[in-house]
Amino acid sequence: MRRPIVVGNWKMYTRAADATILATTLRDNLARLPEAEIVLCPPAVWISEVLAVVGRGRIELGAQNMYFEVEGAFTGEISPLMIRDVAKYVIIGHSERREHFGETDEIVNEKTIAALEAGLVPIVCVGERKKKNNPAEPVAELKAALEEIPKKRLTDIVVAYEPVWAIGTGDNAAPEYVARVINQLREVGLAETPVLYGGSVNSKNIAAYAARPEIDGVLVGGASIRSSEFVKICETWARVKHFRSQA
Ligand code: PGA
């Protein structure tokens, strides 16, 4: 049974006080939702602060990026082992990293391998740039990201299907379309791997994604830094997926 997951990607938002307030509100409101794994990915400088607020257990933490070397003279970079000390997950190959920071498929692959070696759960992001009915691009990105990773390790990763045209635009992808692409992604060997959807998810459209059995979770950007929105998203996901798993 693949686990339901809701990930909040805070991106480069929140000053220190905002991060603490947001984390406190989410901790207090999400305590009674054991049916879904909830992962917060604050800016790296606040991960420890957020950990101090939420503690270990109900809410998991993740980083938004990492380097593939474990230590060394790499000024400004963050090692997988450093992240492992404070978090369980790490987002790898987000389209904003690919677009603004030149992350290639090869780098995404190296980072995915390094994350697994460090005992982190990589959330590997793939998605086509332009709006078109063609899953070939995300499938090719996924194959490249998973190169040389043994099949048995595929249960230790999470994949996020995020069509780039849907991210931050309000133009969320139709759930039926997402389900179709996810079915194609699963053919790469992801039968037991949680696959998430991301791209303009909010409290109004969340139920339609939750209703699709192909979609195990969501990766939420903009709506994840508005506490009431994110709480509603988590509540809907936990409720629908919980009922489904009991059916
Ligand atoms: P969005 O971002 O929810 O703001 O579209 C999703 C993401 O970038 O992961």
pLDDT in tens, 168-182: 999 999 999 999 999
Ligand 1 mean position to 162 CA, how many Å? 8
Pairwise CA distance, residues 87 & 63, whole Å: 7
Ligand 1 mean position to 142 CA, how many Å? 19
Mean pLDDT within 232-244: 89
| Burial call 181-191: b when 16+ CB within 10 Å, e when fewer | bbeebbebebe
> Is the pTM above the cut of 0.85?
yes
Cβ of 222 closer than 6 Å to ligand 1, yes or no, is yes
Q: Indicate whether 201 pLDDT > 90.
A: yes
CATH entry, 5-246, from 3.40.50.620, 3.30.390.10, 3.20.20.70, 3.30.465.10: 3.20.20.70
The beta-strand segments (E) located in 26-149 are 37-41, 59-63, 89-92, 121-126
User: Token match 């606040």: residue?
Assistant: 46
Helices marked H in 104-222 — which ranges? 105-117, 136-145, 175-186, 206-210
Given ligand 1 and candidates 13, 201, 230, which is best to mutate, with the most ligand atoms within 8 Å of its CB? 201
